Amino acid sequence: MKIFHFVPVLALCLFLSNQSLKAQSIQPGFWDKVQYGGGLGLSFGNNYFFFNVAPSAIYNFNEYFAFGPGLSYSYIKNGDFKTSITGGSVIALFNPLSQIQLSAELEELYVSQKQELDGGNRNRDFWNTALFLGAGYRSGPMTFGVRYNVLFDDTNSIYTSAIQPFVRVYF
């Protein structure tokens, strides 16, 4: 008689534990929602050198929204003119459709410029703040688009234009 009570209880326990395992396996972990990307640049020529490294990461809250930080370092030498740029950014991405991506990115860069001149050197250090609003076309992990710096100041900026094309890749 005891075996008739034991079998249904055992079957119920096995069923509930199996359902619990299925529910746990469906939930992705934090790191499963993180994507990495960034940029790497190198250019050189006659008395010219450029190097850039800019790693970034985003956290996908769902299929529509993502947010993340980025770091940036650039070094440029052109003749007697040297520039070092260090900074960071935060980006928010919105994908209203799978092929369309809208973005807002706040970037803060510290710029240190040095120019060697006859009779003395000229140094200029300043902070450059940019707020980019952009739109792009997504295809797989890549997004091609245009962004606009709403804080652009042509008298005190490291950028030559408020409008910039971009290619963004996250894996």
Q: What's the CA gap between 94 and 104, in Å, rounded?
A: 9
How many CB atoms within 10 Å of residue 146?
13
What kind of fold does domain 29-169 have according to CATH?
Answer: Porin (2.40.160)
- Assign 85 to helix, strand or coil: strand
Q: What's the CA gap between 20 and 10, in Å, rounded?
A: 15
pLDDT interval class at 154 (50, 70, 90): confident
- The answer on pLDDT for 2 being more than 70 is no
Residue with tokens 């619990």: 20
Residue with tokens 């520039």: 83
Q: Identify the sign of the CA torsion 57, 60, 63, 66.
A: negative
Q: Of 120 and 33, which is predicted with more confidence? A: 33
- Write out pLDDT tens, residues 42-62: 999 999 999 999 999 999 999
User: Structure pTM?
Assistant: 0.80
> What is the model's pLDDT at position 11?
56
